[in-house]
């Protein structure tokens, strides 16, 4: 039931898909020949008379079939009810939120008006919900990109969805080929979207730290908007709503992370499941108790508790460094003069920002000195700076290249060529 409960909290469509998949499995497991589907009582009588171990196995098998038939009936009833559900009200609300974010008419919790956001990222836990949302948002006039464990997906004129690489998905979204990127938590690892200022959590994982990981995709160094919008959509009168409201407004989880709260946060998925599956007559008090636990944990937090924002700021305070002997522009000019490179080393420009780099004993690779180009192609291009595998080792200390020239000398040579030009 936990699975069904989570899927329902995500979307009506996810619940229906899960019920249909489970029903197909149960029907397959319960499809025994008719003569084997006798009653458990009759089989137990046979055991009493013969005591044969094979008969005991038959009883166990028939009991299992009976349970599966009972589950099949329960699922069929649930599925019939789920199919009668109206259009998901949360999906309708999502479309309204996205429209308000685009128009610049969305108000923050402090009632201030947020700026207009041309694009937004929508997170969900399940691909079933993703599939439903991409089709629904298309009917509402939004252009949509998707990213999940299947990879990126882009709508084609014929209505099919073309698979994209991670890089291509990010590149298309960055150049605003789509207004909305719908993705599962697979995108919460390794994809950064500092150029997007709005994020909507269409569903809420029972582990609150997963929400933090999602927010971290946009709330990071280099964010281009002075304020960002984080919108959480949840069904009213549920344990998830109770917990997240307490975490957000009373504990400020999504502003800082306090150390003493970690034990209770790590136990939160199990606690939410426990309360969510209680009988209705017991659930209201259990929900209140769970919120009280969170409040008590927050009240016992010392005044000097750990604050992640302060820790990050402190970690970013670095000692002053000596200026670099050369910059990215100068490294780029060096790549434009391959004759200055050591014997056996080749640099072939294949565009304004990309170079094929070949050196003895190593395969050809693509390099760049353009940080924006590297950010768009991190999986296929190397950033040619100190620390890159293709960059000459210890070049900053004057180490010599294959023909005896130091990298600094090569840079000086390109400066001379530039000055003469």
**Pair (98, 208) in one structural domain:** yes
312-369 pLDDT, tens digit each: 444 444 455 555 566 788 888 888 887 777 778 888 888 888 999 888 888 888 888 8
Note the pLDDT of residue 331: 84
Percentage of the chain exceeding pLDDT 70: 57
**Pair (94, 215) in one structural domain:** yes
Q: What is the mean pLDDT of residues 379-406?
A: 60
Half-sphere exposure for 15 (CA within 13 Å, toward CB): 22
Note the pLDDT of residue 343: 79
Q: Which two tokens stand for residue 380?
A: 């296929």
The mean-pLDDT minimum among 175-184, 198-207, 243-252, 383-392 falls in 243-252
Which residue has better confidence, 323 or 200?
Answer: 200
Q: Which of 61, 83, 105 is the last residue of a domain?
A: 83
Note the pLDDT of residue 245: 67
Full residue range of the structural domain in which residue 397 is found: 328-420
Within 149-283, strands assigned E span 151-155, 161-164, 180-183, 198-201, 229-232
Q: What is the mean pLDDT of residues 146-173?
A: 90
Note the pLDDT of residue 121: 97
**Pair (68, 97) in one structural domain:** no
Say if 249 falls within a structural domain: no
**Pair (79, 102) in one structural domain:** no
Whole-angstrom Cα distance, residue 183 to residue 397? 46
Q: Which of 233, 266, 288 is the last residue of a domain?
A: 233
**Pair (41, 94) in one structural domain:** no
Q: What is the mean pLDDT of residues 58-70?
A: 52
Say if 240 falls within a structural domain: no
Say if 323 falls within a structural domain: no
Say if 212 falls within a structural domain: yes
259-268 pLDDT, tens digit each: 445 555 666 6
**Residue 1 pLDDT > 80, yes or no?**
no
CB 337 within 8 A of CB 415: no
**Pair (306, 352) in one structural domain:** no
Whole-angstrom Cα distance, residue 145 to residue 171? 11
**Pair (213, 305) in one structural domain:** no
**Pair (70, 158) in one structural domain:** no
The mean-pLDDT minimum among 59-63, 111-115, 127-131 falls in 59-63
Q: What is the mean pLDDT of residues 104-116?
A: 90
Note the pLDDT of residue 213: 84
Say if 26 falls within a structural domain: yes
**Pair (104, 205) in one structural domain:** yes
**Pair (46, 98) in one structural domain:** no
14-29 pLDDT, tens digit each: 777 777 777 777 677 5
CB 185 within 8 A of CB 155: no
Phi, psi of 113 (to 5 degrees): -85, 125
Say if 299 falls within a structural domain: yes
Overall number of domains in the chain: 4
Say if 226 falls within a structural domain: yes
CB 208 within 8 A of CB 266: no
Whole-angstrom Cα distance, residue 382 to residue 315? 26
**Pair (44, 102) in one structural domain:** no
**Residue 36 pLDDT > 50, yes or no?**
no
pTM: 0.57
147-158 pLDDT, tens digit each: 998 889 999 888
CB atoms within 10 A of CB 66: 14
């Amino acid at each position: 039931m936990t699975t069904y409960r989570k899927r329902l909290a995500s979307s009506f469509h996810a619940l229906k898909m899960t019920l249909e998949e489970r029903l197909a499995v149960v029907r397959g497991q319960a499809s025994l020949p008719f003569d084997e589907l006798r009653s458990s009582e009759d089989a137990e009588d046979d055991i009493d008379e013969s005591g044969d171990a094979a008969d005991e196995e038959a009883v166990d098998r028939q009991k299992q079939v009976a349970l599966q038939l009972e589950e099949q009936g329960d699922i069929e009833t649930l599925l019939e009810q789920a199919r009668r559900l109206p259009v998901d009200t949360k999906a309708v609300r999502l479309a309204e939120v996205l429209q308000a974010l685009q128009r610049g008419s969305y108000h923050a919790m402090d009632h201030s008006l947020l700026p207009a956001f041309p694009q937004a990222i929508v997170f969900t836990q399940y691909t079933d919900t993703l599939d439903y949302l991409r089709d629904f948002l298309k009917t509402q006039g939004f252009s949509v990109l998707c990213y999940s464990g299947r990879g990126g997906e882009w709508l084609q004129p014929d209505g099919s969805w073309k698979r994209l690489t991670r890089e291509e998905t990010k590149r298309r979204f960055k150049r605003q080929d789509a207004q909305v990127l719908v993705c599962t938590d697979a995108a919460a690892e390794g994809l950064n979207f500092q150029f997007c200022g709005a994020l909507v959590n269409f569903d809420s994982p029972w582990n609150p730290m997963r929400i933090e990981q999602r927010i971290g995709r946009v709330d990071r160094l280099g964010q281009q908007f002075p304020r960002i919008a984080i919108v959480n959509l949840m069904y009213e009168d549920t344990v998830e709503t109770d917990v997240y409201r307490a975490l957000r407004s009373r504990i400020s989880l999504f502003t800082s992370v306090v150390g003493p709260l970690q034990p209770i946060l790590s136990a939160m998925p199990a606690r939410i499941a426990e309360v969510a599956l209680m009988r209705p007559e017991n659930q209201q008090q259990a929900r209140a108790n769970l919120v009280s636990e969170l409040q008590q944990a927050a009240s016992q937090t010392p005044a000097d508790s750990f604050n992640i924002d302060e820790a990050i700021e402190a970690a970013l305070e670095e000692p002053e460094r000596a200026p670099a002997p050369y910059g990215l522009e100068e490294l780029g000019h060096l790549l434009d003069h391959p004759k200055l490179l050591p014997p056996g080393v080749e640099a072939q420009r294949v565009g304004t920002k990309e170079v094929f780099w070949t050196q003895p004993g190593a395969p050809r690779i693509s390099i760049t000195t353009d940080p924006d180009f590297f950010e768009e192609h991190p999986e296929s291009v190397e950033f040619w700076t100190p620390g890159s595998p293709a960059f000459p080792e210890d070049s900053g200390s004057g180490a010599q290249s294959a023909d005896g020239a130091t990298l600094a000398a090569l840079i000086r040579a390109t400066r001379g060529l530039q000055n003469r030009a």
